Every structure is written in C-alpha cells, then in structure tokens.
Amino acid sequence: MDLREIFATNLRRLRNAKGMSQDDLAYTADISRSYLSQLEKGSFHVSIKVIGKLAETLGAEPEEFLKRPAKRPARK
C-alpha cells in the first residue's frame, strides 16, 4: 500500500467516524468536493496545507492520515 492509498483510507475512515459527507467536509475545510473525492480515491497527491485543513476540520492530528492500518492476524 503506497502513501496515497494509506492517506485515502485514513481520510475516509476519519470522515466517516465524524459522520460527515464529502460535501460537508469539503465545504467546512474550504476545498472542492471533486478534489476531496479524488483524494479519497488515492488519485491525487495531497499538500501539507490541505492535510492541515482536513485535520483541523475532522479534529484529528495530521499524522493520523499517514498511519498504516493495523495488520490483521492471518486466518487459519
């Protein structure tokens, strides 16, 4: 999983945890909804400035967006 995919996964997870739609998050963070959608798909690179806006809006620390997901134990 590359960093864009990790960022996309965490962005969706944090947004959903707050119960926000893409429209709500984009409006509150002052970014376009289409750009947010592309970030959640892992299609675009994100700037530090946008990470800061998203973190503030979602009440998260910026590093939360780059944390690798916990590995699940292998099934037997």
User: What is the rounded distance in angstroms from the CA atom of residue 69 to the CA atom of residue 42?
Assistant: 15
Range of the domain at 42: 3-66
Overall domain count for the chain: 1
Q: Look at residues 73, 53, 69 and name the one whose alpha carbon lies nearest to residue 13.
A: 69
Asked if residue 47 belongs to a domain, the reply is: yes
User: What is the rounded distance in angstroms from the CA atom of residue 56 to the CA atom of residue 52?
Assistant: 6
* pLDDT 10s digits, 26-63: 999 999 999 999 999 999 999 999 999 999 999 999 99
Asked if residue 12 belongs to a domain, the reply is: yes
Asked if residue 31 belongs to a domain, the reply is: yes
- In three-state secondary structure terms, 28 is helix
Asked if residue 76 belongs to a domain, the reply is: no
pLDDT for residue 69: 79
Asked if residue 75 belongs to a domain, the reply is: no
pLDDT for residue 76: 66
Residue 25 sits in a domain whose CATH number is 1.10.260.40
Name residue, tokens 């998260």.
60
* pLDDT 10s digits, 7-30: 999 999 999 999 999 999 999 999
pLDDT for residue 73: 66
